[in-house]
């Protein structure tokens, strides 16, 4: 269910471009695949990951523990994993972790879905960003054994909390590599906190009519810059079609104008002229536990998290092309 942003609505081009066609056969496939993601599977995945403890970038032991867990989890699902160095922070080497499903038609073109796995000082980071990591694991599990037309890459980014170091290092490598073409990033940044209480949603700024977040914090924010609009449209269409009871607020195409919407890994992509869309529960504008010791698993709404994860599964299937259904050209902007 879409919360209206009149600026988006008002732009005829954007409105036209928001029509994402999902063929019937693909729709039927997606409806089956998303069923594998439930509040229970989300809770199991997040509980297990949170059991590792803190994941601070400055602590080599903590980071390595998280990386090894993610490697084992992905390998257990049948994925080959690999690491890329993301430089160092306070003399601790940082590692991004990746896994892929190779495309059958256009393997050079890569659709990325990512989340950062590190936490800030002394915060367990269940929402920030254990929820995003568990979301990626849910998507990886749902897509196990399927064959997209383009390559899907699962990205676990290091050191987001200390200056988006992980995604910045990855984007620098992507730009160097001529053999691949990254089509964009769907960034899961805090997808586990919601509240139905009145006035539970804050905002950095509210511009009447143009950009004004609702006052109840029960929606997921879709934040993309103008260049990434089509990717945001795919996510929103997938919500409408496959998770219609998930509310979302569209800051699609306009989020590039707001500095608060650029506070995560997708911003490394924006800076490099690549596409990036963040889906987020809006962090400190809603979650009182943000960067606190109280960001624990007890505060997570697994119904909400499962809905967002389902939409992410569907988005990757539509975006990367599936079962003989061609990939959607997000490059044809707007």
As measured in angstroms, the least distance from the Cβ of 205 to Zn ion is 21
Structure tokens at 127: 């929402």
Instruction: Pick the closer one to Zn ion by CB: 57 or 111.
Output: 57
Sign of CA dihedral 98, 102, 103, 105: positive
Angle at 86 between CA 81 and CA 88, to 5 degrees: 130
Closer to Zn ion by Cβ: residue 137 or 320: 137
* Minimum separation from the CB atom of position 152 to Zn ion (A): 22
DSSP letter for 131, please. Answer: I
Specify the residue, 241 or 263, whose C-beta has the smaller distance to Zn ion: 263
CA 101 – CA 91 distance, rounded (Å): 33
Q: Which of the stretches 49-57, 73-81, 128-136, 232-240 binds Zn ion when contact is defined by CB under 5 A?
A: 128-136
How large is the greatest C-alpha to C-alpha distance in the chain, in angstroms?
A: 52
Pairing of strands 81-89, 219-224: unpaired
Nearer to Zn ion, 142 or 188 (CB): 188
Q: Is 236 a binder of Zn ion (CB under 5 A)?
A: no
> Using CB atoms within 10 A of its CB, is residue 136 exposed (0-12), middle (13-18) or buried (19+)?
buried
Of these, 128, 149, 183, 218, which contacts Zn ion (CB under 5 A)?
128
Structure tokens at 55: 């994941």
Q: Which is nearer to Zn ion, 138 or 237 (CB)?
A: 138
The window from 20-28, 49-57, 124-132, 148-156 that contacts Zn ion (CB under 5 A) reads 124-132
Nearer to Zn ion, 129 or 138 (CB): 129
Interface with Zn ion, residue 129, by CB under 5 A? yes
3 state DSSP class of 104: coil
Distance of alpha carbon 332 from alpha carbon 334, whole angstroms: 6
**Of the ranges 27-35, 126-134, 209-217, 304-312, which one interacts with Zn ion (CB under 5 A)?**
126-134
Burial readout 319-328 (b: 16 or more C-beta within 10 A, e: otherwise): bbbbeebebb
Among 34-42, 48-56, 120-128, 207-215, the segment contacting Zn ion (CB under 5 A): 120-128
User: Which range touches Zn ion (CB under 5 A), out of 7-15, 50-58, 125-133, 252-260?
Assistant: 125-133
Residue 265 near Zn ion by CB under 5 A: no
CB of 52 to Zn ion, least distance (A): 17
**Binding-residue total with Zn ion (CB under 5 A):** 2
Q: Quick check: helix, strand or coil at residue 116?
A: strand
Work out how close the CB of 167 gets to Zn ion at its nearest, in angstroms, rounded to a whole number.
11
Q: Answer yes or no: are the C-beta atoms of 155 and 227 closer than 8 Å.
A: no
* Least spacing, CB of residue 132 vs Zn ion, in Å: 7
| CA-based nearest residue to 148, from 115, 100, 184 | 100
Please identify, using beta-carbon distances, which residue of 129 and 315 lies nearer to Zn ion. 129
Q: Which lies closer to Zn ion via its Cβ, residue 18 or residue 129?
A: 129
Closest among 330, 289, 286 to 106, alpha carbons compared: 330
- The answer to whether the CB of 231 falls within 8 A of the CB of 275 is yes
Q: What is the CA radius of gyration of the chain?
A: 18
Q: How far is the CB of 257 from Zn ion (least distance, A)?
A: 21
List interacting residues with Zn ion (CB under 5 A): 128-129
């Amino acid at each position: 269910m879409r919360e209206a942003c009149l600026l988006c609505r008002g732009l005829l081009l954007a409105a036209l471009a928001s029509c994402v066609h999902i063929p019937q056969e693909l729709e039927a496939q997606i409806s089956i695949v998303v069923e594998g993601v439930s509040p229970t599977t989300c809770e199991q995945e997040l509980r297990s990951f949170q059991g590792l403890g803190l994941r601070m970038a400055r602590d080599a032991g903590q980071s390595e523990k998280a990386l090894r867990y993610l490697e084992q989890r992905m390998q257990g699902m049948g994925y080959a994993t690999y690491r890329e160095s993301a430089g160092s922070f306070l003399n601790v080497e940082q590692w991004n972790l990746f896994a892929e499903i190779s495309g059958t038609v256009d393997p050079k073109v890569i659709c990325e879905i990512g989340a950062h796995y590190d936490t800030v000082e002394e915060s367990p980071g269940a929402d920030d960003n254990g929820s995003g990591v568990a979301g990626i694991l849910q998507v990886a599990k749902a897509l196990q054994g399927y064959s997209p037309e383009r390559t899907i890459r699962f990205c676990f980014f290091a050191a987001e909390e200390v200056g988006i170091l992980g995604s910045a290092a990855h984007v620098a490598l992507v730009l160097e590599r001529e053999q691949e073409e990254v089509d964009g990033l769907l960034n899961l940044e805090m997808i586990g906190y919601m509240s139905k209480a009145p006035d539970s949603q804050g905002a950095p700024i509210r511009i009447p009519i143009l950009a004004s977040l609702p006052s109840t914090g029960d929606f997921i924010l879709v934040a993309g810059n103008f260049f990434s609009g089509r990717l945001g449209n795919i996510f929103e269409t997938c919500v409408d079609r496959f998770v219609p009871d998930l509310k979302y607020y569209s800051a699609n195409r306009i989020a590039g104008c707001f500095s608060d919407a650029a506070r995560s890994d997708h911003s490394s992509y924006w800076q490099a002229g690549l596409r990036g869309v963040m889906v987020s529960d809006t962090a400190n504008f809603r979650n009182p536990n943000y960067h606190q010791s109280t960001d624990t698993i007890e505060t997570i709404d697994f119904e909400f998290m499962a809905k967002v994860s389902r939409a992410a599964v569907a988005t990757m299937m539509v975006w990367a092309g599936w079962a003989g259904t061609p990939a959607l050209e997000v490059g044809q902007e707007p």
